[in-house]
Amino acid sequence: MSQPLVARLVRDEPDGIIDVAAPPHIAPVMRAMPGIADVIEAPNTHGRLDLRMRWRLARRIRARGYDRCIVLPNSLKSALVPWLAGIPLRVGHRGEARRLLLNRIHPDARDHDARSRPMVDFYAELAAPPGAPPTSDAPDPVLARSPQTERLARERFGIDADTPLFVLCPGAEYGPAKRWPTRHFGSLAARIAARWPDATIIVLGSAKERALATELITLGGVAVRNLAGETTVSEALALVSQADGVVSNDSGMMHVAAAYRRPQVAVFGSSDPRHTPPRSPRARIEWLGMNCSPCFARTCPLGHTDCLNGIAPAKVLAALQEALSTPPPAPHAKDG
């Protein structure tokens, strides 16, 4: 969702050089973004201040002589490194008590209810000064495909390039209130296998989601490859980028599929597709929009998760077939 911000910076300052500092698990996504010159891998110390690590990273960044840093996360820790690095202009939303660390501060979600706006626009507005008219025309996110990486991923996992490839992503790290039931994913897998008998169906996810994938395959009762926890992030991207169809929850892989313009269905439960939709003409959204949603909770506050249980596999299959009938947009990516 940050890629439209990069696109806006490139449009406004075509001679600028844009580098990104990102945790290792995000770095492959950033490397696939048009407009990014270099990616600095920063250790992920979620939940810990780790001043020594941040000081070392700040020294590396200081040596590069940057003029500006745009801080996307809202945490105090994320604004600390650019301040320690002495970057002259440090831009970000107000966030978490960081008035002394940033010197161009935009209002945060509590000031104008960012959840009622697309997150893509919320990020893209950081390219302009605070107080500028709200962004509403940010371009859709785009990731560049790499034919070589795609070929190597197929070869490693023995996936035939001449048969349809469907990717299922049953995970969502935020919590179960964002996860369509595995029994529904299993039923969908069986329906895909019946509709496209020669298709290869794979499940992607992290190692923590392997149990979900195993349950999905057991309940579906058809041949599905469990690749959860077996791929690198780069390989997962390469498989999604060439998929004939992708079905996911509201997750990172949903946005990846949209940025690659793959036919997809995104299933929403506790979150809001008006805030974080898959921005692609080939995406379809299944969301019941119940009176109790969006609640943005990790687990259902009412204990029933009807917002997800009520989305039928047959309806998702129909949405997937509709997405498949949507022609791809004009080519957007360079070989990598």
Q: Which domains does the chain have, with CATH numbers?
A: 3-127 (3.40.50.2000), 147-324 (3.40.50.2000)
Q: What was the pLDDT predicted at 51?
A: 87
Give me the chain's average pLDDT, please.
Answer: 92
pLDDT tens figures, 213-264 = 999 999 999 999 999 999 999 999 999 999 999 999 999 999 999 999 999 9
H or E segment and range at residue 104: strand 104-106
Q: What was the pLDDT predicted at 47?
A: 65
Strand partners, 165: 200
Contact between residue 98 and residue 81 where contact means Cβ atoms under 8 Å apart:
no
Confidence of residue 96 (pLDDT cuts 50, 70, 90): confident
For residues 310 and 312, give the distance between their C-alpha atoms in angstroms, rounded to a whole number: 6
Shortest CA distance to 287 belongs to which of 301, 304, 273? 273
DSSP reduced 3-state for 87: coil
Q: Which two tokens stand for residue 24?
A: 């290792």
Strand order of the β-sheet with 104-106 is 68-71, 89-93, 104-106
Alpha helices in the chain (DSSP H): 3-12, 27-31, 51-62, 76-84, 109-112, 119-124, 147-157, 182-195, 210-220, 233-241, 252-259, 306-309, 313-324
207 has a pLDDT exceeding 60 = yes
Q: What was the pLDDT predicted at 110?
A: 53
Confidence of residue 333 (pLDDT cuts 50, 70, 90): very low
Q: What was the pLDDT predicted at 45?
A: 67
pLDDT tens figures, 273-303 = 999 999 999 999 999 999 999 999 999 999 9
335 has a pLDDT exceeding 70 = no
Q: What was the pLDDT predicted at 248?
A: 98
- Alpha-carbon separation of residue 44 from 4, 64, 165, 306 (angstroms): 24, 21, 33, 35
The pLDDT > 70 percentage for the chain reads 94
pLDDT tens figures, 161-192 = 999 999 999 999 889 999 999 999 999 999 99
332 has a pLDDT exceeding 60 = no
Q: What was the pLDDT predicted at 113?
A: 55
Residues 6 or more apart in contact with residue 108 via CB below 8 angstroms: 74, 93, 94, 95, 114
Q: Which two tokens stand for residue 215?
A: 């349950």
